[in-house]
Chains A and B, each alone.
Chain A
Amino acid sequence: MQITADPSKAQRIDMILREIDSLPTLPAIAMRLLTLTASDDSSANEVTELISSDPVMTGKILSMCKRASLGVRADAVTIDKAVVLLGFEAVRMAVLSIKVFDVFDKPAPEPTDPDATAATNNTFDRVNFWRHSLAVGVAAELIATAHPDARDLPRSEAFVCGLMHDMGKLALDFILPKAFARVVELTELNNGNIAELERRVIGIDHHTAGKRLAEQWQLPRQILDTMWMHSSSYETLPRLEHRRLVGLIGLADLIVRRQHIGYSGNFTFERDPEQLAEVMGLNPKVIETLGPKLYDELQRREGILDLDGQPSRELYLESIQRANQTLWRLNSAREKRTRLATVQSEVLDGITAFFTAATPGRTVQDAMDSVVASARAVLGKGYTALIYEPPQHGEAARASWLICEYDHEGAATRSELIAPPLHAPSLTTLDQAAPDPAAIMPWVVDALTSNGDAREIQMLPLNCAWGVAAVMVHDLPRLPPTKQLDAITSCWGAAIASASQHEDARRLGEELAQTNRALAEAQDRLLHSESMARLGEMAAGAAHEMNNPLAVISGRSQMLAMSIDPGSKNGQAAKTIVEQCKRLTDLITSLRMFAEPPEPERRSCDIGTVLDDAVRRTRSDSPKPTGAQIAISVKVQSGLPTVSLDPDQIGLAIRELLLNAVQSSPRSSITITGRIDTDDQLLVIQVSDDGGGMNGYTLAHAMDPFFSAKPAGRQAGMGLSRAKQLVESHGGQLGLRSAPNVGTVATMSIPLDSQE
């Protein structure tokens, strides 16, 4: 049977199944033997009859008898005696093996010698296959015998099922000898599970093939299920009537494989047989004591069968040797795995510790610190640095690197946001899978400050889902294999990325809060300016209404004063009325100025002149002697250019500030300075005094109209608010700094370029 074409897998599986279906049926005698049990004489008789009807079979059985029983003369033996002598199972086994091999033997040189072809032509060792099958059958039988109470485990069925369980392999080997040889080869090479390789190489495994074969041969259901499911984990077996029987074969298979008897092609040991036995409700003690019995019984059966003509002792020794070889292979493989497992568990511990220490909402810096701590725990001690490129905001923003360096003790020595070296590639654009250290290394090393001598610096990209979250530069000694390293660096990368995201979200939140605050402040200001506007409207309206009566009072009192002797009491009174009218008039004027601020009329002015003029007028306006006595020193930066402003308005504002300073009763003097802030293009005029100063409340309200810290009625309280307004109409700002009993510094800054 050759399959030359290379059909697709599905087609091939289909073909294999059809091949199985076209196999010759099992001879009637074998079928009958499979269904018969030795439980009663009639069956024994039937077996005898069946064997007798086949001369070849008769000869075979009789020769078996000769080998098995010492001192029995061959001619004295009849088939029925032989059956009694050999035992029913042995006879059944013999017949089955002959008959089954009849089916699978391709050009069988000697139908009666089934082993010859198997051993010579094929990698698949048929002798050892039969030995394995026989061993499983025997083991299953022994276990079943040890549990006489288990009605679902009849010993003869256990034997047959065990014997037949791997028949699917024979079928596969028969149909696709080359492919199956490859499977066998690969299995031994990899210490793998043959079923898995069968599926990979051939397309179906011997379980499926076995099931199909059993169907084709119309074998009893329990044999079919055994062939199909003996490798399945006991717990996953369906709730069959003969579930435990199938499980028993699996158990027997496991025991036999562990004893390395024969060839099964399966080098994996899923579980402990004693534990499995317990799960199945069998006595684990039986398993424990099975070994010697198994060998004895196996030896006896093999002797009877003359399986390969080898002396049994040698066979046993060979088994041991093979077992040792396999054991060595297994051990070396296990050692490799153990080493890997140690690393894995270290990495896992590292990851666990890393995540246990993680706190929600940490900053990128926190995340980086903990990454370094984790790196030290997993990779050993050494120098470490992390480079992280924070996300950029806005189009104009330049990329920056956050560089954190840690010394050998793990202490952070530097955490700095730097502009990446010129032409350095963006970290985020590094190829995630294989960042080329050469592409970025020079810049990184450049950016590090503590670059010692020829240190073994390595670069480790910390990846997250969308790229490189950060780059670790280190000389840590213990790098685990790539797969494990990837696992933990991904954790670190993800942690930094998530911290970055979190920071971003928090920044957005803060920005939002800030905007809200600014909005609230703007609203406050709007409210303030709105109330100012209303106040202004009201003041303007009221002032007009006041003007006429005031003009009348003022005019009348002046006329009165003119008509009376100015020295008389009434003359004095009239004069007082006139003066008070003047005050009221001034108040109304400032109110209206405030309500309808005039536009500044700018022209080129010399600052020194404006300041001097203001000082002069302040002196002359101030009630003597206070104003005249206080020293006012004017300091103007030399070489100031002329500045475009409304000298009347700014002069008035300065006078208001000076007046305020004078009224604070300065201990020594008042200083007024004028300079130009070239950085911000501002004209800065400062009036400072060392007078009484203001407390927080006064300072906060100093520029409110009508606010006055002085006893009510003394001052109109319009001065600073007017000064502020005048400065603001020049696009500038008026600021106040003050401390009680220290003094006040009033600073007006007017932008030079505002030409409105």
Chain B
Amino acid sequence: MADNDTQGEMRGKQVFTTGDAADICKLSQQTIIRCFDSGRLRGFRVPGSRFRRIPREELARFMRENNIPTDRLEGGQRRVLVVDDDAQIVELFTDLLDGDERFEVRSACTGYDAGVITEQFKPDLMILDYMLPDINGNVVCKTVRANPAFTNMKIIIVSGVINQSEIQTLLDAGADEFVKKPFDVKSLMGQIESLLEV
């Protein structure tokens, strides 16, 4: 349970102490400090004190670079944002992923909402409908990719489009995968798992 508490605690945090980081990485605090001081783990010192602080993104990067499993940082759950204007589709994805304890799911039904929620929620994966009421999926895709904070975010575009060249332009806009609607649930799950390395 304590572990779960820690995880719950860590999930909301944006800045970590070296102790937090050691806990998450399952390393000794000394090792963390050494890495911090050598610059391999980037962070900052609290102004007017010697306390080291590590931002969330830096910690995540450090963990990935050193092949340290990130489940403890992520709280064991990967964040998935479902963007679709069709409530039934959103509900379908939510039911599909929310029932799976590995995923935390949020949803947006416009391109604008998708942008706002991405900033806050920092999803690991965005399941993006191509046809949105305000802006098209490929535009959302490009905008998100333009932000360096989201370069690691995975994007799956879901659409009824069948034209190969159109699919290609979507992939070129920064999407990792294209899934045609209607989709095969099992293979879609397989794609999500492999993208999120879970």
Contacts and interface: CB of A to CB of B under 8 A. Distances in A.
Interface of A: 543-544, 547-556, 558-559, 562, 581, 585, 588-589, 592-593, 596, 598-599
Among B88, B96, B165, B181, residue most surrounded by chain A Cβ atoms (within 10 Å): B181
Nearest to B95: A559
A594 to B, nearest CB: 11
Nearest to A596: B163
A589 B162 contact: yes
Given A547-B181, A558-B185, A562-B185, A552 B163 contact: no
A547 B95 contact: no
Interface in B97-131: 131
Among A555, A559, A598, residue most surrounded by chain B Cβ atoms (within 10 Å): A555
A548 B95 contact: no
B95 A585 contact: no
Interface size for chain B: under 10, 10 to 19, 20 to 34, or 35 or more residues?
10 to 19
A550 B181 contact: yes
B58 to A, nearest CB: 38
Given A559-B95, A562-B185, A548 B163 contact: no
B182 A550 contact: yes
Nearest to B185: A558
Nearest to B159: A547
B160 A547 contact: yes
Interface in B8-24: none
Interface in B149-198: 160, 162-165, 181-186
A548 B88 contact: yes
Contacts of A550: 181-182
Given A547-B160, A548-B160, A585-B182, 20 more contacts: A547-B181, A547-B182, A548-B88, A548-B89, A550-B181, A551-B89, A551-B183, A552-B86, A552-B88, A552-B89, A552-B92, A555-B182, A556-B92, A558-B184, A558-B185, A558-B186, A562-B185, A593-B162, A598-B163, A599-B165
Contact of B183 (A543, A544, A555, A589): A555
B88 A549 contact: yes
A551 B181 contact: yes
A558 B182 CA distance: 11
Contacts of A551: 89, 92, 181-183
12 contacts: A544-B131, A548-B160, A549-B88, A550-B181, A551-B89, A551-B181, A552-B89, A555-B92, A555-B96, A581-B182, A598-B163, A598-B165
Among B92, B95, B163, B186, residue most surrounded by chain A Cβ atoms (within 10 Å): B92
B28 to A, nearest CB: 44
Contacts of B160: 543-544, 547-548, 588
A588 B162 CA distance: 10
A585 B183 CA distance: 10
Contacts of B86: 548, 552
A356 B185 CA distance: 92
8 A-B pairs closest in CB distance: A547-B160, A554-B182, A551-B182, A558-B185, A551-B181, A552-B88, A555-B92, A547-B181
A555 to B, nearest CB: 5
Given A544-B131, A548-B88, A555 B185 contact: yes
Contacts of A548: 86, 88-89, 160, 181
Contacts of A544: 131, 160
A559 B162 contact: no
A581 B163 CA distance: 20
Given A598-B163, A598-B164, A559 B96 contact: yes
Contacts of B95: 559
B137 to A, nearest CB: 13
Contacts of A581: 182
Nearest to B91: A552
A547 B158 CA distance: 11
B68 to A, nearest CB: 33
A756 to B, nearest CB: 16
A592 B162 contact: yes
A165 to B, nearest CB: 115
A551 B184 CA distance: 9
Nearest to B164: A598
A229 B165 CA distance: 109
Contacts of B88: 548-549, 552
A673 B156 CA distance: 44
Contacts of B131: 544
Contacts of B185: 555, 558-559, 562
B157 to A, nearest CB: 14
A532 to B, nearest CB: 18
A554 B179 CA distance: 14
Nearest to A548: B86
B181 to A, nearest CB: 4
Contacts of B89: 548, 551-552
Contacts of B92: 551-552, 555-556, 559
Given A544-B131, A548-B88, A559-B95, A554 B163 contact: no
A744 to B, nearest CB: 30
B162 to A, nearest CB: 5
B183 A554 contact: yes
A549 B184 CA distance: 14
Contacts of B186: 558, 562
B97 to A, nearest CB: 11
A295 B86 CA distance: 140
Contacts of A599: 165
